[in-house]
Amino acid sequence: MAKEVSPGVLALRKVVDDVYADAREAKKQGKLVGWSSSKFPCELAEAFDLNVMYPENQAAGIAAQRDGEIMCQAAEDLGFDNDICGYARISLAYAAGKRAARKVDLETGEFVIDPNSGKPLKDENGNVVIDEATGKPKKDPKTMKPFIVLDDIHEIEALPEGREKELRLNAIQPYKQMRIPQPDFVLCCNNICNCMTKWYENIARMCNIPLIMIDVPYNNTVEVNDDYVKYIRSQFDNAIKDLEKLTGKKFDEKKFDDACKHANRTAQNWLKVCDYLQYKPAPMSGFDLFNHMADVVTARGKSAAADAFELLSQDLEKNIKEGTSTLPFPEQYRVMFEGIPCWPKLPNLFKPLKANGVNVTAVVYAPAFGFVYNNYDEMVKAYCKAPNSVCIEQGVDWREGICRDNKVDGVLVHYNRSCKPWSGYMAEMQRRFTRDLGVPCAGFDGDQADPRNFNEAQYETRVQGLVEAMQANKK
């Protein structure tokens, strides 16, 4: 039986689906569509009614749909190094027009099925059906999938109208992240990561479109100093001027104020949802927060996102009253999962956690995206604080705070090959977690988007080791 999905989760999914659908529709109508880094002040774009897509969220989706490798490879074929962030590689390949597509036979119009795909066919008693000719299990035709190949949207669009063009367009992977419109402008704020600057500059050059850049300096103090605020505020003002020029519209203060209200309400409700993980046992699987991040990124400044998180918090409140949880197993251990998940390997990440009764009850995204402000300067300060732009003291404080509040027994650290800044300070953080919180930490190698950098057997051993260390620590 399919898992029952709560009204809050359905609402959150719809919010993101609508953002993507609205952008596609806008493009059809000839309106501008932009691409934005995840922590660019969305309030500015909202003030101009702009449709914006988020390449980080898109890349995570593409990776989770198992097309990360073909897209990363495509970027490498364009000359981008394998060491560059996997999200950036996927996004750059997409910006260059590369698309993961189902292999189609142009004569018959049928997809070419990969004989190695699919699950074993089972009879009515649940037994695997063996193919007498080969002695191997038969494949369930319903689960078999076409080969995935790389296509090029520019090449397809250059074709004359006709069957081939239609078939190839239709063959592009049908999920929303592989079908976002090409950008007309890019909004880049390097608070989330320094890699953004070159990534977005590349997109702007490739697509010959304007780049609106907000540079947030690294904060080597916990408090944001006033000079930084002045510097960034002046860039916000410039971005507004650039957007006025780009759209031909005047900055709408009312719309901006509304977007700020929505962004604050989204942040408050997001934090409320995250705080339910303080309950023991938790009313939800904390791993779900990674999926809900899509709403925080793509729709923070929209009332629909704030409403959907409100609805989810009501679902969780109900779970607490009824003593239920979305966690599909009894919670024996609680950990902080540090870093971005390996999106292409989510089931593999979850499997040993489930087998050992480990719930993720803390993620750094809770404090990092749960920011609330009361005025323009506070808004500027809030945008100064992202995981890779804050000093180690602030980073440790965020994490240790949430570890204490959410009562974790251990920390699982993803040493993310895609993210050098994040992994760069993690060794010291790990030392501090062990010293300050007295809990064991285990690190594993992986990647947020490129499946070639993850080894399941190594991960399983580290998780089992962490569980055994947590067990010893509890005694």
Partner 1 sequence: MSIYTMGIDVGSTASKCVILKDGAEIVGKSLVAVGTGTSGPQRAIEGVLADAQMTREQMDFVLATGYGRNSLDGLADMQMSELSCHARGAAFLFPQVRTVIDIGGQDVKVIEIEDGQMRNFVMNDKCAAGTGRFLDVMARVLEVNTRDLGDLGDRSTREIGISSTCTVFAESEVISQLAMGTDKCDIIAGIHRSVASRVVGLCHRVGVRDQVVMTGGVAQNHGIVRALQDQLQHDIYTSPLTQYNGALGAALFAFQKASK
Question: Omega of the bond prior to 283 within 30 degrees of 0, cis?
Answer: no
- Of 139-147, 183-191, 275-283, 455-463, the segment contacting partner 1 by CB under 8 A is 455-463
- The Cα 403–Cα 392 span in angstroms is 16
DSSP code per residue over 350-408: HHHHHHTTEEEEE-THHHHH----SSHHHHHHHHT--TTTB-HHHHHHHHHHHHHHTT-
CA–CA–CA angle 333, 363, 472 (5° rounding): 25
Q: Which is nearer to partner 1, 37 or 453 (CB)?
A: 453
Bridge partners for 444 per DSSP? 414
Residue 462 binds partner 1 (CB under 8 A): yes
* Residue in 225, 278, 303, 464 binding partner 1, rule: CB under 8 A: 464
Residue 194 binds partner 1 (CB under 8 A): no
The residue written with tokens 């989706």 in the block is 61
Q: Which is nearer to partner 1, 332 or 434 (CB)?
A: 434
Residue 247 binds partner 1 (CB under 8 A): no
Give yes or no for a contact between 129 and 120, defined as CB atoms under 8 angstroms apart.
yes
- The Cα 362–Cα 402 span in angstroms is 6
Q: Which is nearer to partner 1, 288 or 460 (CB)?
A: 460
Structure token digits, residue 19: 């953002």
Residue 442 binds partner 1 (CB under 8 A): yes
Residue 434 binds partner 1 (CB under 8 A): yes
Q: Binders of partner 1 among 328-357, rule CB under 8 A?
A: none
Q: Which is nearer to partner 1, 402 or 413 (CB)?
A: 413
How many Cα atoms are found within 13 Å in the side-chain-facing hemisphere of 454?
A: 25
- Of 118-126, 160-168, 186-194, 453-461, the segment contacting partner 1 by CB under 8 A is 453-461
The residue written with tokens 């050992």 in the block is 356
Residue 461 binds partner 1 (CB under 8 A): yes
Three-state DSSP at 333 gives: strand
Which one-letter amino acid corresponds to residue 327?
L
Residue 473 binds partner 1 (CB under 8 A): yes
Residue 455 binds partner 1 (CB under 8 A): yes
Nearest distance, CB of residue 90 and partner 1, angstroms: 21
Q: Binders of partner 1 among 393-422, rule CB under 8 A?
A: 415
Residue 436 binds partner 1 (CB under 8 A): no
Cβ-based neighbours of 138, under 8 Å, separated by 6 or more: 120, 121, 128, 129, 130, 131
Q: What's the farthest any 2 CA atoms get from each other in the chain?
A: 76
Instruction: Work out whether strand 410-416 and strand 333-338 pair parallel, antiparallel, or are unpaired.
Output: parallel
Residue 468 binds partner 1 (CB under 8 A): yes
Give yes or no for a contact between 171 and 103, defined as CB atoms under 8 angstroms apart.
yes
- The Cα 213–Cα 197 span in angstroms is 8
Give yes or no for a contact between 358 and 333, defined as CB atoms under 8 angstroms apart.
yes
* Residue in 110, 427, 436, 474 binding partner 1, rule: CB under 8 A: 427
Q: Which is nearer to partner 1, 314 or 473 (CB)?
A: 473
Nearest distance, CB of residue 469 and partner 1, angstroms: 5
Nearest distance, CB of residue 454 and partner 1, angstroms: 9
Nearest distance, CB of residue 9 and partner 1, angstroms: 33
Q: Which is nearer to partner 1, 133 or 457 (CB)?
A: 457
Residue 51 binds partner 1 (CB under 8 A): no
128-152: buried (b, 16+ CB within 10 Å) or exposed (e) per residue? eeeeeeeeeebbeeeeeebebeebe
Nearest distance, CB of residue 365 and partner 1, angstroms: 24
Q: Which is nearer to partner 1, 122 or 431 (CB)?
A: 431
Nearest distance, CB of residue 346 and partner 1, angstroms: 19
Which one-letter amino acid corresponds to residue 206?
M
- Of 23-31, 216-224, 314-322, 461-469, the segment contacting partner 1 by CB under 8 A is 461-469
Nearest distance, CB of residue 409 and partner 1, angstroms: 13
Closest C-alpha among 406, 388, 184 to residue 283: 406
- The Cα 416–Cα 459 span in angstroms is 13
Residue 441 binds partner 1 (CB under 8 A): yes
Q: Which is nearer to partner 1, 102 or 417 (CB)?
A: 417
Nearest distance, CB of residue 438 and partner 1, angstroms: 10
| CA 360, chain centre distance (Å) | 17
- Of 53-61, 162-170, 215-223, 434-442, the segment contacting partner 1 by CB under 8 A is 434-442
* Residue in 390, 440, 450, 451 binding partner 1, rule: CB under 8 A: 440
Three-state DSSP at 337 gives: strand
Give me the residues that bind partner 1 (CB under 8 A), please: 415, 427, 430-431, 434, 440-443, 445, 453, 455, 457-458, 460-462, 464-465, 468-469, 472-473, 475
